Structure 1
Amino acid sequence: MRGAPGIGKSALLEYAERTATGLRVLRASGVESEMALPYAALHQLCMPLLERRRNLPDLQCEALETVFGLRSGPAPERFLVGLSVLSLLSDASEDGPQLCVVDDAHWLDRESAQILGIVARRLLAESVALFFGSRERPADLIGLPELEITGLRDADAATLLDSVTSVRLDPRVRERFVAEARGNPLALLELPRVLTVTQMAGEFGLPHADGLPDRIEQGFQARIDGLPEQARLLLLVAAAEPTGDPMLVRRCAERLGIASPSDLAGEMDGLLTFGVRVVFRHPLVRSAVYGSANRRDLRTVHLALAEAVDGVADPDRRAWHLAAAAFAPDESVAAELERSAGRVRARGGPAAAAAFLQRSVALTSDGSLRAERALLAADATFLAGGLEVARDLIDVAERHAREEFQRVRAHLLRSHIVFASGLDDKGPLMLLSAARRLEPFDRDLARRTYLLAWGSAAYGATNRDSMLRISRAMRELPLPENAPSALDLIVRAFALLITDDRAAALPYLRRALAALPAHPPEDLMKWGWAAFGLTAFLWEDAIMTETPARMIEIVRAAGVMSDLPIYLHALGVPVTMTGDFAAAASIAVQADSATAVTGMPIAQHTRLLLAGMRGREEEAVPLITTTIEESVASGQLNGVSSAQWAASILYNGLARYEPALSAARATLQSANALTSQWALPELIEAAARTGDHASAHGALSDLAEAAEPCDTDWAQGILTRCQALTSDGGDADGLYRQAIDRLGRTTLRPELARAHLLYGEWLRRDRQRTEARTHLRTAHEMFSSIGMEAFAERARRELLATGETVRKRKGPVPAAAELTAQELQIALLARDGLSNPEVGSRLFLSPRTVEWHLRKIFTKLEISSRRQLSQVLPRDEDGTSG
């Protein structure tokens, strides 16, 4: 519910609470002065349920305990926290419906707002309702159903005004008051307190409606100014203490020598009430009290609150009050804020840490310490998305730095910001400079920075000279003679790919992959993306799936959900290339779920390849077109590459070779070194079919350079198949047979089927119809079983040309066809033995939502239990039997 201050949001939320018969009500409120404290509002909401955390999966339980300060440990990702809160509410709803009421959502701390937004978007089958009241539309809640509160109708407004007015109003004056109040109940209720009797009776009314909140606050301020001094001070204590804890307010009042709240109750004009919580008549009262207080009183009250807060149980809130009380640099407070930043980072991530560290910098006088804290604050602020503020903090760090390492770290941070800002070629070269300067101080960090520079150049719009400069610098790095790490070897392999050739890089890549198991998961999470990126150059289908599959296990175990979409697509592409479309679609659904929760913009690589290989033009073309447009706009050229590659496969399947050739060429122009080799076979086939022999032979030369150093069945099978396409006479026959033999030893069924198709087409053109039918029939059956509809139709037409009658296959497996993509994913995971919580963790759903989907799945498949899923969805149907 959204509307102006005083419009009635809080009253409607209170009405919802009172009338929520049979529902458990959980309540939280955003508080402006508490916005820097991570998970403050979420703590209010979930505290009554925390005992139920033990019913959750271990990783989710640990995440909740960490963010609520019940255990120490690294900060869990907010996506994992969101899933944990969703599971907690879902578990609580087993005992009855839950109503969550969140008032003043515009003042929620960022972490709570993000988590509640995640939860709200994932609610489906749970008996949970979330009501938010907010002045404006909070960014983290955009997209939720909303109701704009516009105030009372004129007749009702007039009735309300009459009920609180002690003087008889001139009808024209009353009409004016009603019109200018625009139905705002609080404005109408406070009118008799704001205006004098003379003003009420005369022609002096409200200011323009746009100033109503200010005028209402001014009215509250006038009432506050008229209170006794002790009542005003007690109001200030309550305004500065955002949790509404009556015991804490009383302890602070005692320290300040203020009479007890019960003694002052009659002197506060109804602006503050004490009960289970300390509650202001309206949030504008709190802001009026705090905003009008003088600095001396603010420092006095915050210092008293710091003394009253339990420093052991709540050291961070104590530090925050001490910081608010400080009026000059204070090293003890600055150090306490720095320690608090470390704790709140573990609970709330970089945004929470940034708030404490920025204040710590302001209270630090020692130059070297100020530089160090500014660097920490800049890093946290950058990670939280505050690029401009981070730049300012880097400026502070550079001005006060006394050590070279501090200056180097400042340069590295500035490089990250420039790269994140999308400033073309500057970011990668700045990262290169930072990597060189880091060499004497932190060897591993320097190498990770080199990799980041290389990757940013490879995936962005960087010119060739920059890429070469970065690669040459990496090639010059000394390689330890005894047992170089996988990181050392990956850096060398990346460099050699550009400075030399693939043949030079491959030995280092193989050694790097062999060394990976010796590295702990925390190392792999820092640079594992580079390891799986290089596996493509080995042309080994097993390694292509095993490496990202391992990374998925690692990031899931660590709860690092932000990286999950990247690794899921890294697995989904090679799985699609095996022809296991059901498993690939399942991975794509998981990637979509992770992307929706993380908000990370990433091209749908798996869906693109699936669409191209399935060959349904009406589905593939819109996805390809949209991906290209969005990737160009965001500078993600790997998205353009994947889309064009998918288009080349699509049009080769449809036997429309001119657009296939055009798409393959576009792929090579936009692609980075990691994917270009896969477009070469598409270009060769399309060029051979259109008679562009020069392009076909040129691409074949490039393919030979990429594949010949890799003596694998995949590499040699693809190479000989493409050589056969460009050969004349009897050489083609032997090459096709060799390709079929080599590809038959891989898991790449689509590539084997295409070899049979091309050989069958060649045999038919060579008038060997009987032999052609054998290979074309094999190709047709394989394409049909995989789901490659365009290629299957191409094989069917070729069979017809040999004189054999072939009926069209009728589409996908009937059982799977009954289900949506998400339902199929849930069914397959449940079939494979995953519990509802485990399925929910994969798809960011609550266990109750998974159960709700399963009931629908059972109905569609006409079964009654999970055990029957393996009967209606046998493993050989979805291609997962191997």
Structure 2
Amino acid sequence: MLHGRERECALIARLLDGARERRSAVLVVRGEAGIGKSALLGYAAARADGMRVLRGGGVESESELPYAAAHQLLRPVADRLAAIPAGQAAALRAAFGLGEPVEGDRFLVSVAVLSLLSEAAEERPLLCLVDDAHWLDGGSADALAFVARRLEAEGVVLLFAARDEEPGPPSRTGTGPPTARALHPPAGPPLAGTGVPRPLAGLPELRLGGLDAGAAQALLAERTSVSLAPEVAALLVTSTAGNPLGLLELPGSLSAEQLAGTRPLPERLPVGEVVEQVFLARVRRLGAPAQTLLLIAAAEDSGDVGLVLRAARTLALAPDALDEAEHAGLVRVDGGALTFRHPLVRSAVYRGATFLQRQAVEQALAAVLADEDADRRAWHLAAAATGPDETVAGELEASAERATRRGGHASAASALHRAADLTGHPEPRARRLTLAAETAWLAGQPDRARTLLDEAATRTAEPRLRARGEHVRGAIEGLCGRPDLAYAMLVAGAELVSPPNPAAATPASGAGGPADRAMGHDPSTGVAPGREPGEAPGPDPGEVAGVPSGREAAQAARMLIEAGRLAFTAADLPRLAEAGRRLAGLPPVEEAVTAGGKLMIGLAALLEGDAERAATLLREGRALAKDSADPQSLTMAAGAAMFVGEDMTALDLFTTAAVRARTAGAVSALPLVLAPLGALQMWTGRFAAARATATEGLRLALDTRQDNIAAHHRAVLAWIAAVQGRAEECRTEADAALSRAIGQRLGPPAGIASWALALLDLGEGRTGEAFDRLTALADAAPGEGHPIVKIFAAADLVEVAVRADRPDRAATALDLLRRWAGPARSAWADALVSRCRGLVENADDHFTEALSSHAQAGRPFDTARTALLFGEALRRRRRRAESRRHLRAAREIFERLDAAPWAALARVELQATGETARKRDPSTSADLTPQESQIARMVSEGGTNREIAAYLFLSPRTVDYHLHKVFVKLGLSSRAELVRLALERPGLLDGEH
């Protein structure tokens, strides 16, 4: 047991015991330098009986090398790669530089790390120790954080140790710039006041403080060979604030008289500085050759003794200099590995050197790495540079290209940024800054990307490069910021690479294209529209004077399509029309772009209220895009189908888009695909499926920092919670969605969340409140609601307006619904129009027509609502026998959908007819969590655990864990029984039981 760490050790022991029972756990151990984080990880390793221990960690010199820490951690289990899905294995090999580059989402590597750890844990539980997490490279930090948030039942314990404060730049007693490492910290900016990389934010934490007086004195007594005067021991404890490393190292720097208490101790300093200065004093006692050799090792702290000695020879240092450093206890050499006694030794050595001393060793290291490791060589040369150097800048850019091919976008961004710093001429510097911004965005670092774009914009007037920057800026703003600003950025960027827009152009002839995934929807695939990483934005060979090439026109089209999508989201008809006019002025491009143009112009017609023309254009666009291999094109086609009432076509296309995104491992693309899929599943009564979709989409949106898309998923969850009577959940999710949506002018999530709160009121009998909310939704300004949501919610407004005796509002809402439903030619839309006419005109034949249309429509919740209203109307006219038939049907559907408030309303109406309403026989499928219902549905469709795990970005053991819970809740004992149950009761696992 460690002195003073009984509580912490007990916690670690519990985590290890849980892993032996296949319960995974994650913990980030935080604290200042020397506080005992590594000792606690060592304690865990010593107590990991029966477990396999994997070790890795951040290394400052490797913090710009993609996936360096992940490779170090996973190297011992690399033999298991053949057991994980082939696409994942290929991505991981490429990330580690062991295979050919693989195109795909950066999160595919993260999924592969999860799969590999899960596979390795099949043999025995795993303990993964990641020390010095504050120095993790960006790719490793992202991957390990992704894994940490998905570990459940694998039997894996993942422990991180991270310093509270990230080390600052080294002190400079000479001239020249600080090192590249200081300029560009790893893994994105750390959390404020900590050294914890941002990807690890929100994980369970254990904060280590100093030892109390008793534990500190016990440690001193155990580890100090000389006798300390009691007052000296007390002063050491006070001056170090109980920091264990300070307690152990300070006595060695004091004289015998000071230890005996006959001479005063040094004044108290912050502990990190104390310990570092103690180590630096020990270094200064060595000869000059040993000090220089230590500086070489500090500059290249990969631990490769051979590399250090080769660099030493270029500086005419004898090998015995290493012996002196080792005998002083400052480094250890074991085989070919050199390690510092403590990371603060390395820090003290490097900070204590002058710039010219550091420059000399960086150049020596670069010289011996010339033919061995081009990426390390580039960074050493950059650290030694004192001003613009195109040769070094070129090597860094080449390093960035290699990192990008491996999926290491964060590392590529750092290399390109440093390359820009070393570029003397403004235009090439601006190009590299723009490339750095693109890769930072792909790495999930939007703030860093914005800063780089701001700097690039001050250094170039070249139209194509500025357009490229505006495309990135608009993409970031659209997903993470204000869509109205994003629209302006995208249109401005498109104008830079577009010909003058002919005044006679009409939107109907426009051409366009699906928004580029990298720049519009997916911050983790692709780098720039039509460009490869590092490619100069020079003229297209086919360009003629003053006319954009096909590549430039396609880029402009993508930006305009994306701008149009944002304008539609905000229900901003003038801007949508403007994007359409600009799109119409572009030269023709590929057919997929034409499909995008038709879809966008169709949406403009929908906002204008021309439902007939909108339906025609949307159907034409859907037909052109439905066979696309691109998930975003399929999503656009599915949206078009949804907006014209083609539920089944839309569901099929949305599902296909999601499958293709999953197959490609495009984790970042999924939230945008899942958002409309969840909404449509919700509106078609597939409540369990919708809840699972929105729950997964929300988690992925938060993982990938797509806050605007997260608001949409929260709104869907609020709507489902309202219908199923989970009032607190509804209000919580709706408030969160509205907080984001109103501020950013996100019409659809704002409208759905407001509608959800109205449904909650209506289901609980608060008709007046529901009328007020739905009226406000109908009157909402663009961005506070949305025309599509207003149309879909119109039937509810008709109902509450009739109850509130507001025929004017009922007539207006019915007219809106009828004008859209006619061109849509959808059975469910016709059913709602007939229902509303039955309410307004109090006419049975309209209710009968509605139920007839519902029978073909496949929207059970709407069917039950109509049956409830018809039954209520019949009861009021004392036609009780007829009324009961419809009320029973309504109650049964509501109960199958777990729509508890609505089932209660149906039972009250039945009781009013004189029938004693039976108590509901609850279905245990209602107890399934969203993830359990998702897994159960996939098992019922024949999916294996491994297939489901790959599809949902989970581990097979976690899938098995949830499947066991499904069996228990449903009273089943095998997969065969689950398949049989799903066949006997179709829709059960979608919430239609």
Query: Which of 149, 159, 182 is residue 131 of structure 1 equivalent to?
Result: 159
**Structure 1 residues 539 and 806: CA distance shift in structure 2, 3 A:** farther
Question: CA contact under 8 A between 2:473 and 2:486: conserved in structure 1?
Answer: no
Aligned-residue offset at 1:435 = 2.3
Deviations 1:595-642 (A, max 9, x none): 464454413244233223334546544544454345446654433311
Deviations 1:513-538 (A, max 9, x none): 101144332xx43x555444333320
Question: CA contact under 8 A between 2:480 and 2:705: conserved in structure 1?
Answer: no
Amino acid corresponding to residue 71 of structure 2 in structure 1: H
1:565 is matched with: 671
Q: Does 1:295 align with 2:409?
A: no
2:89 is matched with: 61
Deviations 1:819-877 (A, max 9, x none): 44433333332232211122223443311222233334444444432222224554525
Counterpart CA distance in 1 for 2:695 and 2:702 is 10
Aligned-residue offset at 1:6 = 1.8
Aligned-residue offset at 1:356 = 0.5
Query: Which of 287, 294, 297 is residue 238 of structure 1 equivalent to?
Result: 297
Q: Does 1:339 align with 2:367?
A: no
Q: Secondary structure at the match of 1:227?
A: coil
Q: Secondary structure at the match of 2:423?
A: coil
Deviations 1:262-315 (A, max 9, x none): 862466511111114211011111111122223333333223323433746x43
1:497 is matched with: 606
Amino acid corresponding to residue 132 of structure 2 in structure 1: D
**Structure 1 residues 509 and 469: CA distance shift in structure 2, 3 A:** same
2:134 is matched with: 106
Q: Structure 1 stretch 121-130 or stretch 780-789: which is displaced more? A: 780-789
Matches within 5 A, 1:512-523: 512-521=621-630
Counterpart CA distance in 2 for 1:499 and 1:636 is 19
Query: Which of 816, 823, 848 is residue 737 of structure 1 equivalent to?
Result: 848
Deviations 1:313-368 (A, max 9, x none): x4322322232233333323222221221221233443221101011112223443
Counterpart CA distance in 1 for 2:88 and 2:454 is 39
Counterpart CA distance in 1 for 2:324 and 2:48 is 30
Matches within 5 A, 1:671-820: 671-727=785-841, 732-803=843-914, 805-814=915-924, 816-817=925-926, 819-820=928-929
Q: Secondary structure at the match of 1:285?
A: helix
Tell me the percent identity.
Answer: 38
Root-mean-square deviation over aligned CA pairs: 3.2
1:453 is matched with: 563
**Structure 1 residues 476 and 666: CA distance shift in structure 2, 3 A:** farther
Aligned-residue offset at 1:644 = 1.8
Query: Which of 606, 610, 619 is residue 510 of structure 1 equivalent to?
Result: 619
Counterpart CA distance in 1 for 2:101 and 2:201 is 32
Deviations 1:427-481 (A, max 9, x none): 4223322222232442232222223323334445x87765665565456667789
Counterpart CA distance in 1 for 2:227 and 2:696 is 67
TM-score normalised by L of structure 1: 0.90
**Structure 1 residues 220 and 393: CA distance shift in structure 2, 3 A:** same
Counterpart CA distance in 1 for 2:810 and 2:51 is 70
Counterpart CA distance in 1 for 2:913 and 2:660 is 52
Amino acid corresponding to residue 10 of structure 1 in structure 2: S
Amino acid corresponding to residue 583 of structure 1 in structure 2: A
1:646 is matched with: 756
Question: CA contact under 8 A between 1:447 and 1:491: conserved in structure 2?
Answer: no
Structure 1 gap ranges (5+): none
Q: Structure 1 stretch 320-329 or stretch 510-519: which is displaced more? A: 320-329
Query: Which of 837, 846, 850 is residue 955 of structure 2 equivalent to?
Result: 846
Counterpart CA distance in 2 for 1:547 and 1:261 is 70
1:146 is matched with: 205
Question: CA contact under 8 A between 1:75 and 1:349: conserved in structure 2?
Answer: no
Deviations 1:170-202 (A, max 9, x none): 543442223212222322332244344565555
Amino acid corresponding to residue 64 of structure 1 in structure 2: L
Amino acid corresponding to residue 674 of structure 2 in structure 1: L
Counterpart CA distance in 2 for 1:517 and 1:733 is 41
Amino acid corresponding to residue 876 of structure 1 in structure 2: R
Amino acid corresponding to residue 835 of structure 2 in structure 1: R
Aligned-residue offset at 1:687 = 0.6
**Structure 1 residues 494 and 592: CA distance shift in structure 2, 3 A:** closer
**Structure 1 residues 547 and 133: CA distance shift in structure 2, 3 A:** same
Q: Does 1:229 align with 2:277?
A: no
Amino acid corresponding to residue 304 of structure 1 in structure 2: A
1:97 is matched with: 125
Counterpart CA distance in 1 for 2:592 and 2:83 is 45
Matches within 5 A, 1:433-582: 433-440=492-499, 441=548, 442-459=552-569, 469-470=578-579, 473-474=582-583, 485-498=594-607, 501-521=610-630, 524-525=631-632, 529-582=635-688
Counterpart CA distance in 2 for 1:813 and 1:421 is 40
Q: Structure 1 stretch 737-746 or stretch 164-173: which is displaced more? A: 164-173
**Structure 1 residues 539 and 823: CA distance shift in structure 2, 3 A:** closer
Counterpart CA distance in 2 for 1:156 and 1:610 is 54
2:345 is matched with: 285
Counterpart CA distance in 2 for 1:122 and 1:5 is 29
Question: CA contact under 8 A between 2:718 and 2:753: conserved in structure 1?
Answer: yes
Question: CA contact under 8 A between 1:541 and 1:714: conserved in structure 2?
Answer: no
Deviations 1:565-621 (A, max 9, x none): 332232222223332333334434443553464454413244233223334546544
Aligned-residue offset at 1:880 = 6.5
Deviations 1:669-714 (A, max 9, x none): 1322332211111111111122100001111122222222222323
Aligned-residue offset at 1:255 = 3.7
Q: How many corresponding residue pairs?
A: 871
Counterpart CA distance in 2 for 1:101 and 1:79 is 22
2:376 is matched with: 317
Structure 2 gap ranges (5+): 1-28, 165-193, 500-547
Question: CA contact under 8 A between 2:626 and 2:637: conserved in structure 1?
Answer: no
Question: CA contact under 8 A between 1:227 and 1:267: conserved in structure 2?
Answer: no
2:943 is matched with: 834
Aligned-residue offset at 1:25 = 1.9
Counterpart CA distance in 2 for 1:244 and 1:72 is 27
Question: CA contact under 8 A between 1:329 and 1:363: conserved in structure 2?
Answer: yes
Amino acid corresponding to residue 68 of structure 1 in structure 2: F
Question: CA contact under 8 A between 1:173 and 1:203: conserved in structure 2?
Answer: no
Question: CA contact under 8 A between 1:43 and 1:68: conserved in structure 2?
Answer: yes
**Structure 1 residues 812 and 196: CA distance shift in structure 2, 3 A:** same
Counterpart CA distance in 1 for 2:720 and 2:199 is 32
Query: Which of 410, 414, 429 is residue 469 of structure 2 equivalent to?
Result: 410
Question: CA contact under 8 A between 1:180 and 1:206: conserved in structure 2?
Answer: no
Question: CA contact under 8 A between 1:227 and 1:268: conserved in structure 2?
Answer: no
Aligned-residue offset at 1:769 = 4.3
Q: Secondary structure at the match of 1:99?
A: strand
**Structure 1 residues 362 and 685: CA distance shift in structure 2, 3 A:** same
More helix by share: 1
**Structure 1 residues 432 and 809: CA distance shift in structure 2, 3 A:** farther
Counterpart CA distance in 1 for 2:478 and 2:981 is 50
Counterpart CA distance in 2 for 1:15 and 1:780 is 60
Counterpart CA distance in 2 for 1:599 and 1:47 is 30
Q: Secondary structure at the match of 1:242?
A: coil
Counterpart CA distance in 2 for 1:11 and 1:261 is 31
Amino acid corresponding to residue 822 of structure 1 in structure 2: Q
Query: Which of 66, 73, 90 is residue 101 of structure 2 equivalent to?
Result: 73
**Structure 1 residues 663 and 807: CA distance shift in structure 2, 3 A:** same
1:207 is matched with: 267
Query: Which of 4, 24, 28 is residue 52 of structure 2 equivalent to?
Result: 24
Question: CA contact under 8 A between 1:319 and 1:336: conserved in structure 2?
Answer: yes
